[in-house]
Amino acid sequence: MRKVRLMLLSLAALAALAFLSACAFLQQSKFGAAPEGERLRQIERSPHYAEGEFHNLIPTPILAEDSSTLAIVAHDALKPVRNLRPVQPIPVIKTDLKALDPHRDVVIWLGHSSFYVQLAGRRILIDPVLSAFASPVPFTVAAFDGTNLYNADDMPEIDLLLITHDHWDHLDYATLTALQDKVKLAVVALGVGAHLEHWAWPREKIRELDWYDELAMGDGFSVHLVPARHYSGRALTRNKTLWGGFVLESATQRLLFSGDTGYGPHFKDIAQRFGRFDLVALDMGQYDPRWPDIHMTPEQAAQAAEDLKTRAMLPAHIGRFSIARHAWNEPFERISAAGQGKGYHLLTPRIGEALQLDGEEQAFSPWWRLAARTTD
C-alpha cells in the first residue's frame, strides 16, 4: 500500500511540474497579449463579435465533424506523408529591395504568405515571417532549405506593415521586434494591436480595422480589411482577435491579399463592393479534408479568382513551410491544372523574384519541379 501511495504522489508531482512548466512556457512574451481596456471595448462594438469571440460570416467549424486534434496527431504520427519537404533547396532569386525604384509598382513574394509590395510610392510588408521556424516550439515547422532569404536588415524603410491575423506563420515575434524601428505604421485586424503593444510597439504606430473598414492614405491610395473564413489565436484561447485579408487600392491598381481563408460567398461580395481586381494572392496551401472550411484547395482558389474577376492570381500560403499533410509541391501542380482556360493569368514567381505591375505580361517557369524529387 505504501508503494502505491508513493507512486501516486510521484505521478501527482510530475503532473504538477508539467502544469507549472506549461504555464511558464505560455507566459513567454512571444505569445502576445489579449485585448483589454479600450481596445476590448472597441472589439465589443464590432458586429462580428458576440459572446466573447469573433465569428465568421457563415458557420465555419475549425475541424470536420469526424476529426479531433488528438486523432489528427495520432494519425499523422502513424502515417507519414511522402515529400512533405523538398529534398533540394528551393530555387530563389534575391532581389535587392533597397535598390528598387520606390515609385515602381512591384510585388515580391517572400515565401508562404509574406509579401513585399510597392504601390503608389509606398513600401508595404504583408505578414512578414523572416524567421527560420513558424511555431512557438523551437525547431518545429522549419522553413524549407533555401527560403531563409531575407532578414530585417534587408528591408528598406516600410510605410505600412499589414497583419492579417495572429497565427504564428503570419505574426512572428522575432520579425516584428527586429522591424519595429523601420515601420512607420502597422495596420492590423481588430485586436491584433494588443500583441504589438505587448511587444513595445507604440500605440500611435498601430491602426486596427474591422471588416470593410477603410484607411485612406491620400493620393487615391487606401487600405481595406476584408472578410476571410478562418479563426485566430496564439495559445489556448481562440477568436479573441479578428482575421481577414487586405485590399490595396491606388489610382491605377487594385490588389487583394486574402490571408488564410476557406472558400465562401465573401469572395463574390468583395468583388461586388470593389469591382475587378488587377492581382489577387490567394490561400491555396495547407488544405486538408479534416479542416475543409478554413483553407482553400487549389481548385477552390481557382474558383475564388474567377469570383473576384481578377486579371492575375498569385499562389499564397505555400512554398516555405509544411503545415498540412500533402506534398509540398502538390498545390503548385494542382493550381496549374485548375487555372487552364480560366479568365485570369496564373503567376508563379520564385521567392524573391520581382513581379512588375506595369501591365507587361511576365512569364515564370515551373520552378518547383527543380526541387521536387520525392523522398524514399
The pLDDT assigned to 77 comes to: 61
> Higher confidence at residue 2 or residue 143?
143
Residue 242 contacts residue 262 (beta carbons within 8 Å): no
The position carrying cell 501542380 is 333
Q: What is the mean pLDDT of residues 286-305?
A: 97
The pLDDT assigned to 223 comes to: 98
The pLDDT assigned to 23 comes to: 41
Give the gyration radius of the chain's Cα atoms.
21
Mean pLDDT score of the chain: 91
Q: Which domains does the chain have, with CATH numbers?
A: 97-371 (3.60.15.10)
The pLDDT assigned to 70 comes to: 62
Residue 96's pLDDT band, with cuts at 50, 70 and 90, is very high
Rounded (10°) angle between helices 298-307 and 330-338: 40
Rounded (10°) angle between helices 266-274 and 298-307: 30
Q: Is 1 helix (H, G, I), strand (E, B) or coil?
A: coil
Over residues 251-282, the pLDDT tens digits come to 999 999 999 999 999 999 999 999 999 999 99
pLDDT surpassing 50 at residue 359 = yes
Q: Which of 285, 195, 190 is nearest to 243 (CA)?
A: 190
The number of C-alpha atoms within 13 Å of 296 and in the hemisphere containing its C-beta is 30
The pLDDT assigned to 27 comes to: 56
Residue 314 contacts residue 281 (beta carbons within 8 Å): yes
Residue 18's pLDDT band, with cuts at 50, 70 and 90, is very low
Rounded Cα distance between 118 and 122, Å, is 5
Residues 332-346 as b or e (16 or more Cβ within 10 Å = b): bebbbebbeeeebeb
First to last CA, the chain: 52
Q: Which helix (H) or strand (E) holds 311?
A: none
How many helices (H) does the chain have, and how many strands (E)?
Answer: 8, 16
The pLDDT assigned to 65 comes to: 76
CA angle 234, 236, 240 (to 5 degrees): 65
The alpha-helical segments, DSSP class H, found in 62-172 are: 69-78
pLDDT surpassing 90 at residue 112 = yes
Rounded Cα distance between 221 and 109, Å, is 21
The pLDDT assigned to 143 comes to: 97
Rounded Cα distance between 271 and 299, Å, is 19
> Higher confidence at residue 341 or residue 161?
161
pLDDT surpassing 80 at residue 25 = no
pLDDT surpassing 90 at residue 66 = no
pLDDT surpassing 50 at residue 294 = yes
Over residues 179-194, the pLDDT tens digits come to 999 999 999 999 999 9
The pLDDT assigned to 322 comes to: 95
Residue 80's pLDDT band, with cuts at 50, 70 and 90, is confident
CA angle 198, 181, 28 (to 5 degrees): 30
pTM: 0.91
pLDDT surpassing 50 at residue 320 = yes
The pLDDT assigned to 3 comes to: 56
The alpha-helical segments, DSSP class H, found in the chain are: 2-26, 37-44, 69-78, 173-179, 193-198, 266-274, 298-307, 330-338
Contacts 24+ apart (CB under 8 A), 362-368: 366/332, 366/336, 367/91, 368/90, 368/319, 368/329, 368/332, 368/333
The pLDDT assigned to 20 comes to: 37
Using a pLDDT cut of 90, give the percent of the chain over it. Answer: 82
Residue 275: exposed, middle, or buried by beta-carbon count in 10 A (0-12, 13-18, 19+)?
exposed
